[in-house]
Structure 1
Amino acid sequence: MFIEQGYKGNLGLWKYWVPILGFSAMMVANYIMTINSPVDTDVMMKSIIDKIGLNAFFILAIGPLVAGFFIILGWVYLVHGQSITSLTTSRKKVDWKRILFAFSLWGGITAVMMLADIMLSPEDYVFNFKPIPFLVLFVMAVVLVPLQTSFEEYMFRGHLMQGLGIMAKNRWVPLIVTSVLFGVMHAANPEVGKIGYGIMVFYIGTGFFLGILTLMDEGLELAIGFHAANNLTAALLVTADWTAFQTNSIYKDVSQPTLGWDIFIPVLVIYPILLLIFSKKYGWTNWKERLTGKVMDKEIFLAQNTEEAHV
């Protein structure tokens, strides 16, 4: 009953829409400025990096989303009157073991796949390891990346999913809407300009995967762990001059960006396998009801919670 946790706050339509509309406006403005800029995005980014360095550029790029983490939690707690625990999970407390399991599983798989590709296609990579800059990056990334990814989870799979579910009185509307919006949010990424809009299949597909994780597990823990591992390994292990993350990573991808099977395999093959692993570990059942079923009425949910509290 993750969506129903939103009943524990002070309901109000505007309270749900202000954060997402504000964030969307920023994304749209950024996209419009990007496509209408007289200066090529690559040239602009290279100029900034040359002036301030990769590590400072990393903070500049990730900083607004890190700030968003504190803003969305502050909004939910102070304005919406909802606890952070109920925004995170339907369990009595946040399950950190779930976060760590998802983080370890996906971080390990991603690292193995990256290293395998480096071994199979060494001509596509340059060893870029510089001890001091990498150490600085490592400290910054370990602190900042989980905040950045958690912001996206709390915004889309937390606040917005609960709000849309309560409004629509079902689960499939918030699953679809949050997944598509999550993908659209990445439309301004430099990867889209280099590879084309076909990469949106990956972004939106990842949104659906994270949404399914959240609804089936009745909480954000697995999505938070997965997302943090995904971005952290990307920032530390392999980056490229045409990706959103440009860092002092261990390797640099120098291959020509193309829309290949590596974009579609995660969505079509790897994500379903991960869902199977998670479902076996956590005993997921009743998939249809959890993904498309109705959301409980407020009175029934609160009465049920009151009864459970007295037991």
Structure 2
Amino acid sequence: MYIEQGYEGEYKQWKFWILPLGFIALMVFNYISVLYSPVSVEVMMADMIEKLGSNLVLILLLFPLALGLFFVLGWVKLVQSQSIRALTTSRKKVDWKRIWFAFLLWGGITVGLTLIDVWFSPENFEFNFQLIPFLKLALIGVLLIPLQTSFEEYMFRGHMMQGIGLLVKNRWFPLLFTSLLFGLMHLGNPEVDTLGPGVMIFYIGTGLFLGIITLMDEGLELALGFHAANNLFGALLVTADWTAFQTNSIYRDVSEPVLGWDILVPVFVVFPLLLYYFSRKYGWKNWKERLAGKVHTKEEFEENYSHAKSV
């Protein structure tokens, strides 16, 4: 009953739309700016990095989204009177073990896949490790990236999914809608400009995967851990001149950018395997009901919730 947790507090449907609509407006403005800019995103990024340095540019990219997390949590707490626990999970308290497990699992898989790629295609990578710049990057990453990814999770898989689900009274539409919107949020990324629209398969597929584990697990914990690991380990391990995060990472990808296996394999192979593994570990059942079933009314939820508490 994760979506129904949105009923907690002072439930008014309009309270779920102020932040998402504002964020979508910013996304549209950003994409139009990129679309009609006389300079490509890649050139703009290179110019900014040359003038300001990669670490400062990374901070400038991350800080607004990191700050956005506190706007979401503050809005939910102060305007909706909904607890952060209810925005995060349907469990009695946030399960930090799930967050850390997903973080370490996907971090380990990311490291393994990267090392395999380096091993089999060493000509595509340049060893870029410098201790002091890397430590500065690690500090920035550890402080800001989990805040940035948590903002996106609380906005899309939390606040927005609960609001849409309570409006349409089903689970499949908010799952598909937030996944598509999550992918479209990345349209302004330099990867899209370089690799073409096919890379949207990865972004939308990742959003769908995160939405599925949120609904199946009845909470955001696994998605929070996975997303933080994906961006943090990605920033620390490999960078390229055409990616959103251009950092003092361990390796630099010097290959010709193409839409290859590293984009498609996670979506069509790794994510399904992870879903199977999570389902076995956490005993997920009733897939059809959890992903496409109905959302209870406020009265039904309160009746079921009160009954559950009394049992």
1:208-260 Cα offsets, whole Å, 9 max, x none, are 10000000000000000100110011110101110011111111111111112
Which structure 2 residues correspond to residues 21-170 of structure 1 after superposition, within 5 A?
21-170=21-170
| One-letter code aligned to 1:231 | N
Matches of 1:273 and 1:225, distance apart in 2: 17
Report the CA distance between 1:310 and its aligned residue: 3.9
1:245 counterpart residue number: 245
Residue 126 of structure 2 aligns to a residue in which SS?
strand
Residue 215 of structure 2 aligns to a residue in which SS?
helix
1:7-39 Cα offsets, whole Å, 9 max, x none, are 103222321111111111111111111111122
Matches of 2:2 and 2:137, distance apart in 1: 35
Report the CA distance between 1:171 and its aligned residue: 0.5
Asked if the contact 2:96/2:221 (under 8 Å) is kept, the reply is yes
Matches of 1:154 and 1:9, distance apart in 2: 17
Percent identity between the two aligned chains: 64
Matches of 1:133 and 1:99, distance apart in 2: 28
Report the CA distance between 1:297 and its aligned residue: 1.5
CA RMSD across the alignment? 1.0
Matches of 2:211 and 2:120, distance apart in 1: 33
2:212 counterpart residue number: 212
Matches of 2:151 and 2:85, distance apart in 1: 15
| One-letter code aligned to 1:179 | S
1:36-77 Cα offsets, whole Å, 9 max, x none, are 112232222111111111111110111111011111111111
Of 275-284 and 262-271, the range deviating more from structure 2: 262-271
Q: Given the two structures, how large is their TM-score scaled by the length of structure 2? A: 0.98
Matches of 1:133 and 1:124, distance apart in 2: 22
1:190 counterpart residue number: 190
1:255 counterpart residue number: 255
Matches of 2:307 and 2:198, distance apart in 1: 50
Residue 186 of structure 1 aligns to a residue in which SS?
coil
Matches of 1:109 and 1:37, distance apart in 2: 37
Residue 247 of structure 2 aligns to a residue in which SS?
coil
Matches of 2:118 and 2:245, distance apart in 1: 19
1:109-167 Cα offsets, whole Å, 9 max, x none, are 01000011111111111111111111011111011111100100000000011111111
Residue 219 of structure 2 aligns to a residue in which SS?
coil
| One-letter code aligned to 1:176 | L
Report the CA distance between 1:307 and its aligned residue: 3.2
Residue 239 of structure 2 aligns to a residue in which SS?
strand
* 1:292 and 2:255 are equivalent in the alignment: no
- Which runs of 5 or more structure 2 residues have no equivalent in the other structure? none
Residue 252 of structure 1 aligns to a residue in which SS?
strand
Report the CA distance between 1:189 and its aligned residue: 0.6
Q: Given the two structures, how large is their TM-score scaled by the length of structure 1? A: 0.98
Matches of 2:259 and 2:46, distance apart in 1: 23
| One-letter code aligned to 1:184 | L
Size of the alignment, in residue pairs?
311
Matches of 2:300 and 2:207, distance apart in 1: 30
Residue 230 of structure 1 aligns to a residue in which SS?
helix
Matches of 2:268 and 2:112, distance apart in 1: 19
* 1:15 and 2:24 are equivalent in the alignment: no
1:268-308 Cα offsets, whole Å, 9 max, x none, are 11100000000000000110000000111211211222233
| One-letter code aligned to 1:37 | S
Matches of 2:303 and 2:15, distance apart in 1: 24
1:147-205 Cα offsets, whole Å, 9 max, x none, are 10010000000001111111111110111101100011011110000000011111111
Residue 60 of structure 1 aligns to a residue in which SS?
helix
- Which runs of 5 or more structure 1 residues have no equivalent in the other structure? none
Residue 187 of structure 1 aligns to a residue in which SS?
coil
